[in-house]
Chain A
Amino acid sequence: EDQVTQSPEALRLQEGESSSLNCSYTVSGLRGLFWYRQDPGKGPEFLFTLYSAGEEKEKERLKATLTKKESFLHITAPKPEDSATYLCAVSVKAAGNKLTFGGGTRVLVKP
């Protein structure tokens, strides 16, 4: 069975304190790995898609990387507005378009 595990479950950072979130996956035939941001009371907001090991994507203070077993979301010099839950999801070749999600990492950035 395809599995996605995110760590840590929660992360408290001081403003400017860089850190990384981990998403490890066990799937049969990865088609793509996705990062989403979710704010309280809202739906997941699409951030990045990664398709192959070694690929990297950047957006403002966020950078996502992918290996054959895991993905990292690096947050550089975070600001309070980066506080959110970050979700990782995978699409598997034999499973159509459905996404399998991890449990998420709740990030709180304090000023």
Chain B
Amino acid sequence: EAGVTQFPSHSVIEKGQTVTLRCDPISGHDNLYWYRRVMGKEIKFLLHFVKESKQDESGMPNNRFLAERTGGTYSTLKVQPAELEDSGVYFCASSQPGRDYEQYFGPGTRLTVT
């Protein structure tokens, strides 16, 4: 069974530019989550999708971040415009119905804003 995949693995952009991160969850996993880890800090929750609906977006830092999950399959996280403090590793995770808490993580996208 394929795991959670994320693209790109690494992105370097300048302040003010736009970046879109993609996550493909494990097949059959209705739940999809975004987390991020900024330098020296613990992993923090951003938001949770159930299929195509946003269930919880309490962790989204501000309106420069836009997450979508069209058709309930893959998800994208767009940062526009990027700021220096957005640098970090963005993780995507997914879980299956009935085992919601067992979240399986992707390898992450390392975002560097210069």
Contacts and interface: CB of A to CB of B under 8 A. Distances in A.
Contacts of B58: 98
Count class of interface residues, chain A: 20 to 34
Interface of A is mostly: strand
Contacts of B31: 97
Contacts of B107: 41-43
Contacts of A87: 43
A98 B104 contact: no
Contacts of B112: none
Nearest to A39: B107
A99 B103 contact: yes
A43 B48 CA distance: 17
A42 B42 CA distance: 15
Contacts of B101: 31-32, 34, 49, 91, 97, 99
A44 interface: yes
A111 interface: no
A61 to B, nearest CB: 21
Interface stretch (A13-21, A66-74, A75-83, A101-109): A101-109
A43 B33 contact: no
B57 to A, nearest CB: 10
A101 B103 CA distance: 13
A34 to B, nearest CB: 7
Interface string B85-114: 000000101010000111111111000000
Given A96-B55, A100-B45, A44 B105 contact: yes
Contacts of B4: 43
Interface of A: 4, 31-32, 34, 36, 41-46, 49, 87, 89, 91, 96-104
14 contacts: A32-B101, A34-B102, A42-B108, A44-B43, A46-B104, A87-B43, A97-B31, A97-B103, A98-B45, A98-B48, A98-B56, A98-B58, A100-B45, A103-B42
